[in-house]
């Protein structure tokens, strides 16, 4: 069965530091990959998506992710963390040829002043 692995359920960074959230996918065919963000008491919002057009994908709020087939990875980065980035982040991939999304367990990002 397909699975998405997010390494680190909690990540803590200082304001202004690099943010790196790790995601590994399992699909053996070219996947569609997504990063979502969830703020407290809200639904998930799309940050960015990979659709094979380019390996480096830019999203909202200064986030970007790089698709690396050799590593089956799709890590999320932001050069400089802001307090408002504190939230939970979910990586997801489409399952097979369906519309179903397989989500990782999520990584909670804390930004320290």
Binding site for another protein (CB under 8 A): 32, 34, 36, 41-46, 49, 51, 90, 94, 97-101, 103-106
User: What does 41-88 look like in DSSP terms, one character per residue?
Assistant: TS-EEEEEEE-SS-SEEE-GGG-EEEEEGGGTEEEEEESS--GGG-EE
Question: In whole angstroms, how close is the CB of 98 to another protein at the nearest point?
Answer: 7
Which one, 73 or 107, has the nearer CB to another protein?
107
Identify the three-state secondary structure at position 22.
coil
User: What dihedral do alpha carbons 50, 55, 59, 62 form, nearest 10°?
Assistant: 150
Which one, 82 or 105, has the nearer CB to another protein?
105
Question: In whole angstroms, how close is the CB of 68 to another protein at the nearest point?
Answer: 19
Which one, 13 or 47, has the nearer CB to another protein?
47
Question: In whole angstroms, how close is the CB of 21 to another protein at the nearest point?
Answer: 16
Question: Which residues, in sequence order, are bridge partners of residue 19?
Answer: 78
């Amino acid at each position: 069965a397909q699975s998405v692995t997010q390494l680190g359920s909690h990540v803590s960074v200082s304001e202004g530091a690099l943010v790196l959230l790790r995601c590994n996918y399992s699909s053996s065919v070219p996947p569609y990959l997504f990063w979502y963000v969830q703020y407290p008491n809200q639904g998930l919002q799309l940050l960015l998506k990979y659709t094979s057009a380019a390996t480096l994908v830019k999203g909202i709020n200064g986030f970007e992710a790089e698709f690396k087939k050799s590593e089956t990875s799709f890590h999320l980065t932001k050069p400089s963390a802001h307090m408002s980035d504190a939230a939970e982040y979910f990586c997801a991939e489409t399952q097979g040829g369906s519309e179903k999304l397989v989500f990782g367990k999520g990584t909670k990002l804390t930004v320290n002043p």
